[in-house]
Amino acid sequence: MVILITGITSGFGKAMAERLHADGHTVYGTHRKAEDRIPGVTYIRADATVDADVEAAVAQVVEKEGRIDVFINNAGMGIGGPLEFSSLEDARRQMDVNWMGMVRFLHYVVPVMRSQGGGKILCFSSIGGLMGLPFQGLYSASKFAIEGYCEALRLETKAFGIQVVVIEPGDFATGFTAQRKSVADPQAYEVYKTYAKSLASIEHDETTGLKPEYLAGKISKIVACRRPRYNYIISTLEQRLSVTLKKLLPPRWFAAILGSYYKL
């Protein structure tokens, strides 16, 4: 199969590109600044926030291969901190990369899949797209948007043989933690007394989390599956349990549990 993955220079993207290439697929991946390249994978320089880059990336794959069987929207970033102290520019940037980046690619990928009679779309949300995480509100908002968009897209494109799958990872040990932009204003720490402890807890969970190769193995199976599920939570048992509790418990009860976990 011909597979296009966004953001393959590190973390999930790199692990998926390596695994799917090893599985025998033809893999293309977008990047902004690739250094160590995976042999056999075709790299396309493209910024998910630039319309022309996205259009050209999709066109390059179609021109060379004539089709795109699987599209994996992986590129993303995180901005953390108290929402009150998060700038409007940060909010725009978070949505432009995580949500609009996906929308841009799908704007060009969906017509290709429709015309070829089908395809598989995998979009990365997060457990943070299923519950609003404290001091990660902008990130959660961008992932909630992905959930809603994909739910609608799935219904609209089903008649064309297009399958839309949402991936909801928990905490993984990747470069995402070090690259996250967090509010550094001293006043934020002064006003929100629990901010420092919560941030430390978040970073600990991520740096001690699962390895990206584990996720890549799961993605390999989803790509090969003829009838994949609509959603896949890929995380520890504890984090999967938290999603179940959110569905079962009254909102106030779950909020109390989540607040306690994040030391609020």
Q: 235 to each of 27, 47, 118, 134, 166, how far by Cα in Å?
A: 25, 28, 29, 19, 14
Q: Which one, of 122, 114, 236, 223, lies nearest residue 169 by Cα?
A: 236
Separation CA 1–CA 233 (nearest Å) = 24
* CA atoms of 71 and 215, how far apart (whole Å): 16
| Residue count (the chain) | 264
Choose among 98, 111, 117, 102: nearest CA to 150.
102
Of the candidates 28, 43, 108, 139, the residue annotated as catalytic is: 139
**Dist. CA 56–CA 43, nearest whole Å:** 13
Establish whether 189 is a catalytic residue. Answer: no
Tally DSSP H helices, then E strands, for the chain.
11, 9
User: Which residue, 106, 24, 22, 34, is CA-closest to 72?
Assistant: 106
Catalytic residues: 139
